[in-house]
Structure formats: C-alpha cells, structure tokens
A and B are shown apart, each in its own frame.
Chain A
C-alpha cells in the first residue's frame, strides 16, 4: 500500500504546482499594489487617481485584447505603435480637416489599423517572411507615412478639445474596456477562434493535418489585432489632443512588457491565457503610475523601475513549460 501512498503524494505535488502556477501572476500584481499603497501613503487609491489608472491602462488593455490572438499563435507585430499613430492621423484629419462626423473618423482609424496589421499577416503567411521582419517593414512604412503626412500638415494637427471631452470620461472608457475585455475573453477562451490560435502556437502542423486552415486563422488574428489597435488609436487621439509624428510610438514595447509581466508564454501555445495579458497591463500601469506618485528623485526612477521589473518577471514568468527532459549531457 506504500506504493499507492507515494503515488498519491506525487499527484498532490503536481496539483499544488498547478495551483501555484495559476496564482503567481496575481502575486506580482498584489505585491506591487501593496508596495505602492505604502509608499504613496494611500494616495494611489484616491478616486482621482483611480480615474488616472483607468485612463493609463486603457490603451494597453485594449490593444492586448487583440494582441493576445496574434501572440498566442506564435506571431508578433512590432508595427502597432506607428500604425496607431497613422490611424490617429487619418482619424484626426478626417474630423478636423475634412469636417467628417466622428463615427466616420473612428471607422477610418480602424480601417487603417486593420489594413496595416493585415499586411503584416499576409507578408508572414503568403511570403513566408518571419512576422518579426514583416512587422518591422510595416512599421517603417507606417511611421514613414505618418512622418510625411504630419509634415505636410505643418508638424501636427490639434483637436478641438472641448468637443471631445466626453471621450475622456472615465465612465465611457470604463464601459468600453469592460465590453472589449469581455468580448476578447469570450472569443479567446470560449470560441474556436481563440482555441485554434493556441493550438497553432503549440504545433501548427498538427492543426494543419487536423483539417484546419492555419492561414485563415492567422490572418483573422491579425485583423482582430488591427481592429483593437484602431479603437485604441481613436481614444489615444482624444486623450492627448494632438497627433504628431511620434504619436502612438512605443505601443508594441508596452505590449511586450505587459506580456512578460503577466506571464504570457512568448511563443504562445496552450498555456496562453487571456487574463495574463490583462494582468500584465494592469501591473505595468500601477508600476508607472505609482512611481510618479511616489515622487522619487528622478535619477532613481529608472533604476528602481528596472529592478522591480526584473524581480516581477522572475516571479510571474513560468519557464517550466519550456523545459525538456533530456538524458544527453555531454
């Protein structure tokens, strides 16, 4: 009977490990939050600041809703920053210079973003270019277009701020977030659209031989990403109020940080979960927001941020999935 006990114990050990894996990403977030509550003496929880938090995490969370599909199948897109900038420009141009109604402007932004992301998708699928390279090329194209267009427009275009104050309302943003996150979660975790991405990320040949069009689903992922980036771009535009050649830049890096902080596996696959991206985004936002509120002397900010990031990452990122049992050791 001793055998069975040992077996049971090993099974319990495995169960505990599974539980731990599910909790760890939250651990990082909780740790960071508690830390900043202490250090800012509670100011971080003030209603005003909560509004700020919603504003700050809005873009990254929205983009995450789409990014999760692409990264889950092992793809990536480094162009979304400058694509967002270009989308913002088209949108603001349509509204301010052409006088078109706002919904059309939003459509314009979404269209441009979806087009750009689709190009990345097409290039990597049809031309067999690694999405890394494909997206860098698209990044150059969109950034270049943005630069030329903004220059022609005189450097930047400014919004008639008062008209758009409503889009900065925390309630509106909160609702949009809830809807998009809810939709994203549903599509990713409960429909085949998301499940197939995870399967492709695990082994695309298996999926191919199971009779599923890997090409089609990869494209869909990029289009979903484009859609989310387009919407995010619109709100970025209303928040900042101007569009210049540097608008939107850095989004792809923020996404990567959110991905790592949340414990999302870099090559996708079945271990990928929607909530990892969202968690990562929230953690990142609190980190940035907290650092500012803390009022730490500027020279120390980068240092502390770097240190915090390293430790946070090692807590939440699970490498055991990558481990392979190998009996060769030369």
Chain B
C-alpha cells in the first residue's frame, strides 16, 4: 500500500513538473507578443485572494493591460495568515521584478524591496501613523491610489436616513481584518453623530455571517428598518429573498454583484457602491510612470490619490455599470486610456490632471470615456 503511494507521488510530481509550467513560459498575457511597443516588465501583484469578487476583478483588469504594455504579472495570494503572507512575499522577491503592486504593504516588504531597488505602490493608506512614517522613509515607496472608504460609510448613513430608516443594524468585519471595512464602519459611526434620532439596534462582525446576519437580525429585531453592511454578496441577497424580507428594511452596502439591479428595482437597496477595482488600474498607471522614465507622479499630490467608489442609485445606472465597468471582456479603462495617464508618453498629462481623473470616477465619467466604444 505504501509503495503504491510513493509511486503515485513520484508519477504525479513528474507529470506536473513536465506539464504545469511556472512563470517563465505561461505568465499571464504574454503570448509571443512582439507587437507591443514597450519593453518587457515584470510586476508582482499581492493581495489576500484573487478568487473572490474583488480579487478576480483586480486580476482580470490587469491582465487586460498585460499584452498592450508587455507586462508579466505575477499574482501572489497571501491568504489571511500574516506569517504565511510574509513568507510568500519573501519568496516572491526571488523573482526578477521591476515593480510591485501591494494592497497593504508592510514595512518589512518595503525593506525587502528596497534591498533590491524595486518600487512599490499601494492600494490602501498606511494602517497607522507610525507605519505611514516608516513607509514614507523608503525612497522606493511610491505612495498609493486609494479609496475613500469613510465616504461609503457616511453616504450609507445619509442614504438610510433619507430613506426614512431610524432603527439600524450593522454588519461588519472583525476589526483588524481589513482596513477598508474598518474605515467604512468608522465613517458610518461618525456620520451617525449627525442623526441623533437614528439608533443602532445591534452589530455583528463575521465574514461568513452576512446571510446569517440578515436572518439573525430580522428574527431578533423585527422592528429593524435599515441594514448597513460593510460589504454584501449573492448569498446575502438570497437570504433576504428566502426569508421573505423584501420590503421589510432598506439596505445600504458596498460591492456590486449580479442581483444588485433587482434589489435596487424592488426598493431594498437605497445605497450601494462598488466598482472599486479601478484603483488597481490607476495604481498600475502610477507605477508605470515610474517604470517608464522614473516619474513619481504621486509625490506632489502628497503621495496618495483618492478615487471614489461608483455610486449606483437606479437600475439604469446599473446597466451602464454592467456594460462598461463589470469585468469579463470589458474593463472600465482600456489600455489606451491608461496610456494617456503616462506622463512620459503623453506630454499633456500632469500630476494634477491625474488626480482629477482619479477623483472623477463615476457612472457619468465612465460613459463619457467609453462612448464611441
């Protein structure tokens, strides 16, 4: 029995070694493309997972730029275990990289990158003062293109209040798991100060509990008329439908998915934001500025450029969103659009214009950019 397994293992490994090729050959997006006008660059992209909604949008949107810009992207999934994440990042630096896009870089990462002269761009602001200070001390830290997560929370609070909700339940992530979610939560709580007659009945924090949170809240608090969730997903919508809760309360949340349109139409959703993967494409643009000719486009902006979420309030909006923003074959920015953001290629581009472009992200901007496509 044991010998069988040893043989099996050896065969499996041999087969895999021969057929599943690693980096060099099948790096995403690089068919023998000699059509690109640009030098080959190798960029690592680091995030907790590329298989959830946002993660796959991150991956897909970058892959759509790979051929045009002649980039080998290496996607490194770090999982949620900090120790393992660090190990993976360390291993990653074994590859010959020209740049790193890192959602939330640690000082240790910057140090490792610095030793090898590799620029790093972030997708989140530093977690606290101290980290920010240390990160900025590194010359290879390019800053980041970040979301204003506070705004989500603030907008959600306003939207719920305007819709007439006064008794709210909150579903969020355990503090420390994600800064984005934490900021949305903080933004919401801050905004609550402006609405003293809107009260919070209960809060719950657990990733898997969104559908469960819906059920529990609805059962325990029948008087709930509004729900703020720092993110939402299909199972959550199903839970609302299955438990006959459509119309019982209003939902304000983030992360747009398939059922969003339906739930806007039937009045459940009063405020939803999403489409935030654009920031990775913008971050790429900022990074590429540096890779192309050393331009540090974010320096004069204070290191960070903010890009909002897309706000959807009607199913018409959703249709536009679906057409141009949700991934698949169409990503919100085409390679040509990105190209125009590179100062070395487009002499008209300036840091201020870049910043404006980032800030203007909305349904209307997308429509105007892509009309004619």
Task: List the interface of chain A (C-beta within 8 A of B).
Answer: 24, 27, 31, 35, 38-41, 43, 46, 48-49, 52, 55-56, 59, 96, 147, 150-151, 154-162, 165, 168, 236, 239-242, 244-251, 285, 288-289, 292-301, 304, 307-308, 311-312, 314-315
- Chain B residues near A308: list those with CB within 8 A: 9, 13
Q: List CB contacts (< 8 Å) of B124-183 with chain A.
A: 127-128, 130-131, 134, 174-177, 179, 182
Q: Is B371 an interface residue (CB 8 A)?
A: no
| 8 Å CB contact of A246 from B75, B90, B176, B179 | B176
CB pair B127–A247 under 8 Å, yes or no, is no
Q: Is B88 an interface residue (CB 8 A)?
A: yes
Q: Is B107 an interface residue (CB 8 A)?
A: yes
Q: Is B54 an interface residue (CB 8 A)?
A: no
- Which range contains the number of B residues in contact with the other chain? 35 or more
* Stretch from B79-87, B253-261, B270-278, B360-368 forming part of the interface with A: B79-87
- Chain B residues near A247: list those with CB within 8 A: 82
Flag B2-34 by CB within 8 Å of A: 1 or 0 each.
100110111011001100101110111000000
- Chain A residues near B17: list those with CB within 8 A: 35, 38-39
Q: How many inter-chain contacts with C-beta < 8 Å in the A-B complex?
A: 161
- Chain B residues near A292: list those with CB within 8 A: 76, 87-88, 91-92
Question: How far, in angstroms, from A248 to B86 measured CA to CA in the complex?
Answer: 12
Q: A38-B17, A56-B90, A295-B27 are in contact. Are A158 and B107 (CB under 8 A)?
A: yes
In the complex, what residue of chain B is closest to A24 when comparing beta carbons? B2
Q: What is the minimal beta-carbon distance from A139 to any residue of chain B, in angstroms?
A: 15
**Top 9 A-B pairs ranked by shortest CB distance?**
A295-B23, A245-B176, A292-B91, A311-B9, A295-B22, A158-B130, A244-B176, A56-B87, A161-B107
| 8 Å CB contact of B174 from A27, A245, A285 | A245
13 additional A-B pairs beyond A244-B176, A249-B80, beta carbons within 8 Å, are A38-B17, A40-B22, A43-B94, A96-B130, A161-B107, A162-B134, A240-B82, A246-B80, A249-B82, A288-B87, A295-B23, A295-B95, A315-B2
Q: List CB contacts (< 8 Å) of B47-81 with chain A.
A: 50-51, 59, 74-77, 80-81
Question: How far, in angstroms, from A199 to B136 measured CA to CA in the complex?
Answer: 56
Q: What is the minimal beta-carbon distance from B19 to any residue of chain A, in angstroms?
A: 11
Q: A43-B94, A158-B130, A314-B5 are in contact. Are A299 and B51 (CB under 8 A)?
A: yes
| 8 Å CB contact of A155 from B12, B76, B86, B175 | B175
| 8 Å CB contact of A307 from B12, B111, B131, B175 | B12
Question: How far, in angstroms, from A241 to B107 measured CA to CA in the complex?
Answer: 7
Q: Is B108 an interface residue (CB 8 A)?
A: yes
A interface majority secondary structure: helix
Question: How far, in angstroms, from A96 to B128 measured CA to CA in the complex?
Answer: 14
Q: Is B93 an interface residue (CB 8 A)?
A: yes
A-B contact pairs, 13 of them (CB 8 A): A157-B128, A161-B111, A236-B83, A240-B108, A245-B175, A245-B176, A246-B82, A248-B82, A289-B91, A295-B23, A311-B5, A314-B2, A315-B6
Q: A158-B127, A158-B130, A247-B82 are in contact. Are A39 and B22 (CB under 8 A)?
A: yes
Q: A295-B27, A297-B26 are in contact. Are A158 and B82 (CB under 8 A)?
A: no
Interface hub of B8, B28, B76, B87 (most chain A Cβ within 10 A): B87
Question: How far, in angstroms, from A288 to B51 measured CA to CA in the complex?
Answer: 19
Flag B92-105 by CB within 8 Å of A: 1 or 0 each.
11110000000000
CB pair B128–A27 under 8 Å, yes or no, is no
- Chain B residues near A294: list those with CB within 8 A: 22-23
Interface hub of B5, B20, B22, B24 (most chain A Cβ within 10 A): B22
Question: How far, in angstroms, from A208 to B298 measured CA to CA in the complex?
Answer: 70
CB pair A165–B111 under 8 Å, yes or no, is yes
Question: How far, in angstroms, from A49 to B17 measured CA to CA in the complex?
Answer: 20
CB pair B74–A147 under 8 Å, yes or no, is no
- Chain B residues near A27: list those with CB within 8 A: 6
Question: How far, in angstroms, from A289 to B84 measured CA to CA in the complex?
Answer: 10
CB pair A55–B127 under 8 Å, yes or no, is no
CB pair B127–A242 under 8 Å, yes or no, is yes
Q: A48-B94, A295-B22 are in contact. Are A158 and B131 (CB under 8 A)?
A: yes
Q: Is B106 an interface residue (CB 8 A)?
A: yes
In the complex, what residue of chain A is closest to B131 when comparing beta carbons? A158
- Chain A residues near B91: list those with CB within 8 A: 49, 52, 56, 288-289, 292-293
In the complex, what residue of chain A is closest to B93 when comparing beta carbons? A48
Question: How far, in angstroms, from A52 to B115 measured CA to CA in the complex?
Answer: 14
Question: How far, in angstroms, from A154 to B92 measured CA to CA in the complex?
Answer: 30
Q: What is the minimal beta-carbon distance from A287 to any residue of chain B, in angstroms?
A: 11
Question: How far, in angstroms, from A236 to B84 measured CA to CA in the complex?
Answer: 11
| 8 Å CB contact of B83 from A158, A250, A314 | A250
Question: How far, in angstroms, from A295 to B88 measured CA to CA in the complex?
Answer: 11
- Chain B residues near A38: list those with CB within 8 A: 17
CB pair A156–B127 under 8 Å, yes or no, is yes
- Chain A residues near B174: list those with CB within 8 A: 147, 245
CB pair A288–B175 under 8 Å, yes or no, is no
In the complex, what residue of chain B is closest to A236 when comparing beta carbons? B83
Question: How far, in angstroms, from A250 to B6 measured CA to CA in the complex?
Answer: 29
| 8 Å CB contact of A240 from B2, B6, B106 | B106
CB pair B10–A31 under 8 Å, yes or no, is yes
CB pair B90–A55 under 8 Å, yes or no, is yes
CB pair B16–A39 under 8 Å, yes or no, is yes
Interface hub of B9, B20, B51 (most chain A Cβ within 10 A): B9
| 8 Å CB contact of A156 from B12, B22, B92, B176 | B176
- Chain B residues near A96: list those with CB within 8 A: 130
CB pair B106–A155 under 8 Å, yes or no, is no
In the complex, what residue of chain A is closest to B87 when comparing beta carbons? A56
Q: What is the minimal beta-carbon distance from A208 to any residue of chain B, in angstroms?
A: 36
CB pair A31–B13 under 8 Å, yes or no, is yes
CB pair B88–A288 under 8 Å, yes or no, is yes
